[in-house]
């Protein structure tokens, strides 16, 4: 899995459950717009309650989604460091 690891997991899990993206959003009690933002990799301001709702909708433990989120965030941070190596530390500015 690559930079969109979380997205790939969510889509794959929904397919295995036979539910649509709209149904995921409905079950997770989030807007479709919010779900599509997450699926595009815009996870910077995603709340813990959103992960819990998504986990319930996808019938997985919340830590499963959080693990995918952390892997994706780590990949984004690595990408940032490759773009901006002069930063000199591990945290994106």
The tens digit of pLDDT for each residue in 14-71 reads 999 999 999 999 999 999 999 999 898 887 788 889 989 999 999 999 999 888 878 7
Distance of alpha carbon 72 from alpha carbon 3, whole angstroms:
6
Indicate if the alpha-carbon torsion angle 77, 82, 86, 88 is positive or negative: positive
| pLDDT at residue 30, rounded to an integer | 96
Residue 23 maps to a domain:
yes
pTM: 0.73
* Domain count along the chain: 1
Residue 89 maps to a domain:
no
Distance of alpha carbon 51 from alpha carbon 48, whole angstroms:
5
User: Residue 57, Cβ neighbours under 10 Å: how many?
Assistant: 22
CATH number at residue 55: 1.10.260.40
Give φ, ψ of 70 to 5 degrees: -65, -40
Domain limits for position 51: 5-84
């Amino acid at each position: 899995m690559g930079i969109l690891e979380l997205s790939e997991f969510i889509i794959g899990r929904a397919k295995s459950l036979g539910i649509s993206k709209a149904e995921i959003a409905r079950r997770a009690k989030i807007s479709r717009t919010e779900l599509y933002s997450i699926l595009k990799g815009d996870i910077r301001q995603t709340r813990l309650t959103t992960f819990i709702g998504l986990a319930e909708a996808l019938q997985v433990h919340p830590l499963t989604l959080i693990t995918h989120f952390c892997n994706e965030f780590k990949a984004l941070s690595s990408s940032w460091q490759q773009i901006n190596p002069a930063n000199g530390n591990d945290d994106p500015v």
